[in-house]
């Protein structure tokens, strides 16, 4: 649903045991039951993937598709099995839930109620943050009420742009006016915590137009904004059009100016950048995404969802048919699994932690350097260049200038 995954998916690029689309290899899924210890403790978050969409947007590489065969009932039936299996194995309390996709709000009100009831069978914390992604076209008063009644207290709306021309470029099929409508419906239903997803760097978009998008978003008074630069993921329709030379991508300097303007404009409006691409009013940081960025354990349900528990990383099989035919026990079928690996875990921890403006603590930095002594020189160079800095508490973090070059520095560090 979003512009981009809310974090660099730590298992997205695993090819150790996984499929290799380039070679047409399809690995036989394994049952998660065989890969994890009996009881899984300390699970902080839960991600549930709903793969159905009204239409496939051209830039999107999430696992999502148009459900021409009416398989939402099968989806919920299989999810019920996996929830039952998970409830017997996972110890909470789960502090955050994120229902993403796909378009969860494409489900009917009854189906959404069923989905939420299933999630409630898991060991959830009392002060749960529960987010559902919503497409502006698919939310109505009844669905908003169902979500609130179930305990959902945060909704993330895929706005992307308020300019019809740019929405058309992205092949997003919604009317910008419907974002306002969706916000009103959700506020009326009692949702006090709203995020809007926005994309910049769209071909043909000017800096002034991006600023206008930000102003339109601010006028809706969200608590949180995710602002991602458009990326051209392999195997998307948009990337194929780019490769055929059908349009010019946004100029790098314009995109850098947009990134900088985002921080300035949102900062002036009372939002703090707390992650490279994410901004929140005080106390409204997305607690679920913080679970990812702080490398805490999270559970995953639904086709293509990836999880991280007890040091194990796994990806649930990313095809609905394979997922539906998972074994009768209800254990999720997975195609990528990585057993605990200290080096990889540390690399993930610094990559994800440095994306946060709070940075990483001295103990993690020391450990990362012990594992890879070459990192000491890279960090020293980045500090000398004004890209990284050390706080009074000894944490290492990006400077305001460094955050613009975060991917470059992180690429060297990991
Ligand atoms: S709404 Fe578009 S961007 Fe979002 S998951 Fe569906 S196809 Fe992808």
Give 339-398 as a DSSP string: ---HHHHHHHHHHHHHHBTT-B-HHHHHHHHHH-TTHHHHHHHHHHTTSEEE-TTS-EEE
Whether 106 is covered by a domain: the verdict is yes
Predicted confidence (pLDDT) at residue 218 exceeds the cutoff of 90: yes
**pLDDT class of 37 with cuts at 50, 70, 90:** confident
Q: Give the pLDDT of residue 22.
A: 41
Distance 250 CA to ligand 1 centre (A): 21
pLDDT score of 406 more than 80: yes
Give the mutation target among 158, 230, 237, 302 for probing the ligand 1 site: most ligand atoms within 8 A of CB.
Answer: 158
Distance of CA 358 to the CA centre of its chain: 19
Residue pair 179/159 in contact by the 8 Å Cβ criterion: yes
Task: Say whether pLDDT at 17 is over 90.
Answer: no
Query: What pLDDT does residue 8 have?
Result: 39
Query: What per-residue confidence (pLDDT) applies to 251?
Result: 95
User: Is the per-residue pLDDT at 129 higher than 60?
Assistant: yes
**380 shares its domain with 260:** no
3-state secondary structure of 280: strand
Instruction: Mark whether 289 and 347 lie in a shared domain.
Output: no
Q: pLDDT value at position 1?
A: 52
- Specify the pLDDT at position 21: 42
Q: Do residues 128 and 235 share a domain?
A: yes
Distance of alpha carbon 169 from alpha carbon 292, whole angstroms: 31
Nearest to 159 by CA among 175, 141, 145: 175
| Alpha-carbon 184 to chain mean position | 24
Rounded Cα–Cα distance for residues 230 and 217 (Å): 18
Q: Average pLDDT over the chain, rounded to whole?
A: 91
pLDDT for 7 equals: 38
Spatial separation of the C-alpha atoms in residues 297 and 43, rounded to whole Å = 5
CA dist 167 and 160 (Å) reads 7
Distance from the alpha carbon of residue 173 to the mean position of ligand 1, in angstroms: 10
Q: Is 18 part of any domain?
A: no
CA of 397 to the centre of ligand 1 (A): 32
Task: Tell me the pLDDT band of 361, cut-offs 50, 70 and 90.
Answer: very high
- Per the CB < 8 A criterion, the answer to whether 198 and 230 are in contact is no
Q: What is the pLDDT of residue 143?
A: 98
- Kindly give the number of the ligand 1 atom that is closest to the alpha carbon of 160: 3
- pTM for the complete prediction? 0.92
**50 and 186 both lie in a single domain:** yes
The Cα–Cα gap between 29 and 333 comes to 5
The residues, ordered by sequence, that sit 6+ positions from 260 with a Cβ below 8 Å of its Cβ are 404
Average of per-residue pLDDT across 236-246: 94
Any ligand 1 atom below 6 A from CB of 104 = no
Which pLDDT score, from 0 to 100, does residue 5 have? 40
Among 31-35, 115-119, 242-246, the minimum mean pLDDT is found in 31-35
Whether 306 is in a domain gets the answer no
Same structural domain, 284 and 374: no
99 Cβ closer than 6 Å to some ligand 1 atom: no
pLDDT of amino acid 339? 87
Give domain status of residue 314, yes or no. no
Choice from 47, 55, 103 to test ligand 1 binding pocket (greatest atom count within 8 A of CB): 103
Is 312 part of a structural domain of the chain? no
* SS percent in the chain: helix, strand, coil, step 5: 40, 20, 40
Q: How remote is the CA of residue 392 from the centroid of ligand 1, in Å?
A: 42
pLDDT tops 80 at residue 257: yes
β-bridge pairing 272-275 and 224-229: unpaired
Q: Residue 241 sits in which domain range? A: 31-293
pLDDT for the residue 174: 82
Q: Is 290 helix (H, G, I), strand (E, B) or coil?
A: helix
Q: What are phi and psi for residue 412, nearest 5 degrees?
A: -75, -35
Residue nearest to atom 3 of ligand 1 (CA): 1
Ligand 1 centroid distance, CA of 239 (Å): 15
């Amino acid at each position: 649903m979003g512009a981009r995954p809310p974090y660099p998916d730590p298992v997205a690029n695993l090819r150790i045991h996984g499929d290799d689309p380039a070679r047409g290899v399809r690995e036989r899924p394994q049952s998660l039951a065989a890969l994890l210890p009996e009881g899984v403790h300390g699970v902080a978050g839960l991600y549930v993937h709903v793969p159905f969409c009204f239409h496939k947007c051209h830039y999107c590489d999430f696992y999502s598709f148009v459900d021409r065969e009416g398989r939402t009932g099968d989806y919920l039936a299989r999810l019920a099995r996996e929830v039952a299996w998970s409830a017997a194995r996972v110890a909470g309390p789960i502090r955050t839930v994120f229902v993403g996709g796909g378009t969860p709000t494409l489900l009917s009100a009854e189906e959404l109620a069923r989905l939420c009831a299933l999630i409630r069978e898991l060991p959830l914390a009392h002060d749960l943050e529960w987010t559902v992604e919503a497409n502006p076209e698919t939310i109505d008063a009844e669905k908003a009420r169902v979500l609130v009644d179930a305990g959902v207290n945060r909704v993330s709306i895929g706005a992307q742009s308020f300019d019809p021309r740019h929405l058309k470029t992205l092949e997003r099929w919604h009317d910008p006016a419907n974002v306002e409508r969706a916000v009103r419906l959700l506020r009326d239903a009692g949702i006090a915590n709203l995020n809007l997803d926005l994309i910049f760097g769209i071909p043909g978009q000017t800096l002034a137009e991006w600023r206008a998008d930000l102003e339109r978003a601010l006028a809706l008074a969200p608590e949180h904004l995710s602002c991602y630069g458009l990326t051209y993921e392999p195997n998307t329709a948009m990337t194929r059009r780019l490769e055929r030379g059908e349009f010019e991508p946004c100029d790098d300097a314009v995109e850098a100016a947009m990134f900088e303007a985002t921080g300035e404009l949102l900062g002036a409006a009372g939002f703090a950048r707390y992650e490279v691409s994410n901004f929140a009013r005080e106390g409204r940081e997305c607690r679920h995404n913080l679970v990812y960025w702080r490398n805490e354990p999270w559970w995953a349900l639904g086709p293509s969802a990836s999880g991280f528990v007890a040091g194990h990383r796994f990806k649930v099989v990313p095809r609905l048919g394979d997922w539906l035919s998972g074994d009768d026990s209800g254990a999720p079928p997975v195609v990528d699994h990585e057993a605990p690996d200290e080096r990889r875990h540390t690399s993930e921890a610094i990559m994800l932690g440095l994306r946060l403006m709070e940075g990483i603590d001295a103990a993690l930095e020391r450990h990362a350097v012990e594992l890879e002594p070459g990192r000491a020189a890279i960090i020293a160079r980045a500090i000398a260049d004004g890209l990284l800095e050390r706080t009074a508490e000894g944490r290492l973090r990006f400077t305001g200038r460094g955050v613009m070059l975060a991917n470059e520095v992180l690429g060297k560090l990991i």
